[in-house]
Structure 1
Amino acid sequence: MEKTVLQTPHAPSPIGPYSQAIQANNLVFISGQIAIDPATDQMIKGDIVEETHRVMQNLKAILAAAGMDFQHVVKTTIFILDMQDFSAVNEVYGKYFQESFPARETVQVAGLPRGARVEIAMIAAK
């Protein structure tokens, strides 16, 4: 198996001992992204909609570094702090995909890094 670490300055640097993404053969495993602005390395200030858009932009940058886009995504996991935000997160998330949506689960959690309200991880395939 060929394993490659993917890193782009257009997404936040990892805040722990992990990689932004790992490519293993034709699969790309993207670590969970939160609403950190890669230009400032700070959490953005805003509501759940703005936070979700920032997360999706971070994911988009990592996919681009792998030569992919959202059409390559086969699986996502959404971690959400409050299920009351589910509809808003779902609406923003849905704008980034067309038709053949990836498999997905959404899980409410007790807490996320840096006080984030949403974190999304992805698996993509070439």
Structure 2
Amino acid sequence: MAVDIITPPQAPPPLAPYSSATRANGLIFVSGTLAMAPDGAILGIGDAAEQTRVVLELIKAAVETGGGRLETVLFNHIFLKDLADYAAMNEVYRTFFPLHRPARYTIQTPLVKQEFLVEIATVAAVADPV
């Protein structure tokens, strides 16, 4: 099985030994994505809505670089530092998925750095040719 490494130009540097995303067998797997700039700066500190927006923009870029679209997202794994941010995350999330509603789950868990409030990992399908 061939596995392609996907690295969108706007991807921040990985915080550990992993790829931003991979593609195999018609699927795109996007690693847990955090609100970071390409230079590694943390964005939206203290603002779960802004961090969600940044994370979903980065996921969109990874999925599109891999040949998919947000409409081909199949599943989102959502991690929140604090469930009190659930409503703010959902408000932004629904703007990225207004009609297409991928399967998902949301859990509360500590994240890799104190400043991160939201992390999302995604599975998408490669888009069919139009």
Which 5+ residue runs of structure 1 have no aligned equivalent? none
Asked if the contact 1:34/1:55 (under 8 Å) is kept, the reply is yes
Partners of 2:51 and 2:44 lie apart in 1 by: 8
Residues 1:114 and 2:113 aligned together: yes
Q: When the two structures are superposed, what TM-score results if normalisation uses the length of structure 2?
A: 0.90
Residue 61 of structure 1: CA displacement?
1.2
- Identity rate, percent: 38
Matched residue count? 124
Residues 1:4 and 2:4 aligned together: yes
Which residue matches 2:43?
A: 44
Q: After superposition, what is the alpha-carbon deviation per residue over 1:84-116, rounded to whole angstroms, capped at 9, x for unaligned?
A: 10011011011101323110000110x112221
Asked if the contact 1:35/1:52 (under 8 Å) is kept, the reply is yes
Which residue matches 1:68?
A: 68
Higher mean Cα deviation, 116-125 or 44-53?
A: 44-53
Residue 14 of structure 1: CA displacement?
1.1
After superposition, the CA RMSD in angstroms is: 1.2
Asked if the contact 1:4/1:24 (under 8 Å) is kept, the reply is yes
Q: After superposition, what is the alpha-carbon deviation per residue over 1:42-62, rounded to whole angstroms, capped at 9, x for unaligned?
A: 101441111111111111111
SS in 2 for 1:62: helix
Where is the strand percentage greater, Structure 1 or Structure 2?
Answer: 1
Which residue matches 2:88?
A: 88
Which 5+ residue runs of structure 2 have no aligned equivalent? none
SS in 2 for 1:13: coil
Partners of 2:64 and 2:21 lie apart in 1 by: 11
SS in 1 for 2:19: coil
Partners of 2:14 and 2:63 lie apart in 1 by: 16
Q: When the two structures are superposed, what TM-score results if normalisation uses the length of structure 1?
A: 0.92
Asked if the contact 1:37/1:44 (under 8 Å) is kept, the reply is yes
Structure 1 segments of 4 or more deviating over 2 A? none
Matched letter for residue 15 of structure 1: L
Asked if the contact 1:12/1:37 (under 8 Å) is kept, the reply is yes
Matched letter for residue 43 of structure 1: I
